[in-house]
Each structure stands twice: as structure tokens, then as C-alpha cells.
Amino acid sequence: MRYRAQGVALAITTAFLMMAPTGAAAQSAQALSVQVSGLYIGFGGSPYTDMSTGVGGEAQLRYTSGAMSLGLGYQYTRHTMEGEEGHMSNAGVFVEPRYVFSTSSPTLAPYVSARLGLLRMSGIMDEDSNGGTVNLGGGVLARLTSRTNLDFGATYGYTRFSGAIDGSGSDLVLRAGFAIGLGG
């Protein structure tokens, strides 16, 4: 099931990236924006076989300069471990550069992105696990107004933690949210 979701997310992202670049982009017209999104994170690999997929959210501040933008944010998801009572949290900071392609559509714009996260898993285990992720992916922005966009994105990549959960694997991050431009 986890790998089918990854394949669907990658196919959708690839389809959007193949749109011909020609016209205006749907990126926020303001240099600064705030984004709030719902998250779905699934981990793959032997250290994470007993861990459930997690649901949570993120908030980020994004600086936009033309087609390039850079986001700095905080994410949180909640997971369970097979055979354990309670839940654990996966939380931390991330940096996300993004390049938005212009298209003939004034309201839709595909983008490619990277995501570097420093994370901590804590909760039901005797000790916390520190680690991080390095992901690549993309998505699509849908302009609602000159100040607001819908954002649908997916990244897939490498993850590594040490501590109670120790080892490397993969992770899939799916996101859906709103971005609101700040200032004039």
C-alpha cells in the first residue's frame, strides 16, 4: 500500500512537470508568504517496518524571488509502533527550495522542490531518536487570488535516524495546504 501511494504521487508530479513552460506562473506575487499544510509521511526500510504512516501538519515562511522561492518551516506528524501502546511524534525543522515553472495557465503552475529536514522522534520509546531527511519532488500551485494559493506537493527521499530507532531508509511526504502572501 505504501509503495502504491508513492508511485501515484510520483506519477502525478511527473505529469505536472511535463507541462510546456510558456506563460505566467501561479506563484505568490508577494515576496513573503506563510503556508500551512496537512502532512502524510510514510517511512520505508527495515528500521521502520513496525512504524505506522503519520498524519500531521506543517507551517512555513516562504521568500519568493521570481520563479525561485525558499521555505523555512516546522513539521509534526504522529505515528504508532506495532506492539507498543501510545504514539510517538516526528517533529523538527526543514528547509525547502522550490522552482516554479511558468505555464500557459494563469492559475496553475508546477514546481520542483527539495526538502532537508532535521527531525526528532520521541514518545513511546525509552530514548529519543535524532535524524533527518533529504528529499526531492514537486507539486502544483493553484492560484485562488493574488494573495492565496493552494499547494499540492510530494517529496520522496532518504531518511536516517539514530537512537531508539536506528538506521536508514526512505520517506514519502505528501502535502496539501494554503499559502497566503504577506505585505504589498
Q: Domain extents for the chain?
A: 2-182
Which pLDDT does position 30 carry in this prediction?
87
Confidence band for 126, pLDDT divided at 50, 70 and 90: confident
Whether the predicted pLDDT of 147 surpasses 60: yes
- Distance between CA 107 and CA 146 in Å, rounded? 10
Q: In 3D, which of 29, 27, 31 has the Cα closest to residue 103?
A: 27
Residues 77-112 have pLDDT tens digits of 999 999 888 899 999 999 999 999 988 998 999 999
User: 38 and 1 in contact (C-beta within 8 Å)?
Assistant: no
Tell me if the domain spanning 2-182 has CATH number 3.60.21.10. Answer: no
Residue 8 vs residue 24, higher pLDDT: 8
Q: Which has more confidence, 103 or 60?
A: 60
Average pLDDT over residues 51-78: 96
Query: Is the pLDDT at 4 greater than 60, yes or no?
Result: no
pLDDT score recorded for residue 37: 98
Q: Decide which of 41 and 27 is more confident.
A: 41
The model's pTM = 0.82
Please tell me the predicted confidence (pLDDT) of residue 20.
34
Give the CA angle between residues 44, 49, 51 to the nearest 5°: 95
Provide the CB-side half-sphere exposure for 127 (13 A, CA).
8
| pLDDT at residue 184 in the model | 66
* C-alpha torsion angle, residues 55, 56, 62, 67 (rounded to 10): 20
Specify which residues 114 forms β-bridges with: 136
User: Rounded to an integer, what is the distance from CA 1 to the centroid of its chain?
Assistant: 19
Q: Which of 10, 27, 17, 9 is nearest to 63 (CA)?
A: 27
Report the candidate in 67, 58, 75, 79 with the shortest Cα–Cα distance to residue 124: 79
183 band by pLDDT with thresholds 50, 70 and 90 = confident
Give yes or no for a contact between 81 and 54, defined as CB atoms under 8 angstroms apart.
no
